[in-house]
A and B are shown apart, each in its own frame.
Chain A
Amino acid sequence: MDQFAVKVFVRLRPSVLDPAGEATKSASIKLGAEGIKSIRIGKMIEVKIEGNGENEVREKIDLLCDRLFANTVIEDYEYSLEKL
């Protein structure tokens, strides 16, 4: 069995308003940061998982992302995978 470290990024779809991102943008400008065009807030989920090779692990992660980590009505996801 191989072990993998997976980092899953879940983001609101571009068409979905992100009021928390907007509020953070407003605070960033108050802090004095210049040039900020937009801020969008997502989630990063770290998973340690084992399986027989990368393909099998990708299948499991795809299922987890699609069914649990993200709600694809409002969110997109992507992930990176590193063999340990």
Chain B
Amino acid sequence: MENFTVGIVVFPGSNCDRDVSWALEGCLDIRTKYLWHESSDLSDVDAIVLPGGFSYGDYLRCGAIARFSSLINALDEFVKSGKRVLGICNGFQILTESGFLPGALVANKNLNFICDDVELDIVSSKGGWFNNVNEKQTIKLPIAHGEGRYHCDSDTLKKLMDNELIALRYKNNPNGSSFDIAGITNEKGNVLGLMPHPERACDEMIGGTDGLFTLKSLISK
């Protein structure tokens, strides 16, 4: 895994790209490379993170414009090849807008921008993104979003439940998400989208290390 490189996508308006790089390089000694959104060459990265922020100023809808970037166009093949893609916050919004994950993220029920630590239940082990060795394992991660209310129709929700695609659920639903959903995976398990920020929970100095496992799992096959 020495040469394993995680690509961190930078859109105009991304603002967690450097946090992700700090967490991967500084806390986990994993090599990273920034990928500008106009790039479509993904040949020298082994996994990709779509970081949080406000890509394209959240114009139209969060993630709506990013969907048409060269990089997202190239992502389809990358995902099909089984390589891992992690979408955090705005990255999750981009993954739903571009159809890699079902559903959509809409304005929080109470209209507040919520910046807080939340308790989360690890629901599924699909893709190995979370360390749920015990049943009912709980982790604490920070959230920071105004549009994080996960919404999907009942058929989609049933499909998510039947196929164990719900990765994380809020213990005390802060934003009104359907079924308390905080993160989901695709069917293959190689794409994870979540509203909480694992990269902000990688050092005891800043409040916890519950995010380390998810970032570290980027380098698992």
Chain A interface residues toward B at CB < 8 A: 12, 15-17, 19-20, 23, 68-69, 71, 73-74
Quote the shortest CB–CB distance from B192 to chain A (angstroms).
19
Q: Given A17-B176, A73-B103, A74-B151: A68 and B64 within 8 A (CB)?
A: yes
Q: Which residue of B lies closest to A70 (CB)?
A: B61
Chain B interface residues toward A at CB < 8 A: 60-61, 64, 68, 96-97, 102-104, 106-111, 149, 151-153, 176
Question: CB-CB < 8 A to A69: which residues of B?
Answer: 60
Question: CB-CB < 8 A to B103: which residues of A?
Answer: 73
| In the bound complex, CA of A73 to CA of B96 (Å) | 10
Q: In the complex, are the beta carbons of A17 and B109 less than 8 A apart?
A: yes
Q: In the complex, are the beta carbons of A74 and B104 less than 8 A apart?
A: yes
Question: CB-CB < 8 A to A16: which residues of B?
Answer: 106, 151
| In the bound complex, CA of A32 to CA of B186 (Å) | 49
| In the bound complex, CA of A63 to CA of B97 (Å) | 15
Q: Given A16-B151, A17-B176: A71 and B104 within 8 A (CB)?
A: yes
What are 8 of the A-B contact pairs (CB < 8 Å)?
A: A16-B106, A17-B176, A19-B111, A20-B111, A68-B60, A71-B97, A73-B151, A74-B151
Question: CB-CB < 8 A to B64: which residues of A?
Answer: 68, 71
| In the bound complex, CA of A73 to CA of B109 (Å) | 17
| In the bound complex, CA of A19 to CA of B96 (Å) | 21
Question: CB-CB < 8 A to B110: which residues of A?
Answer: 19
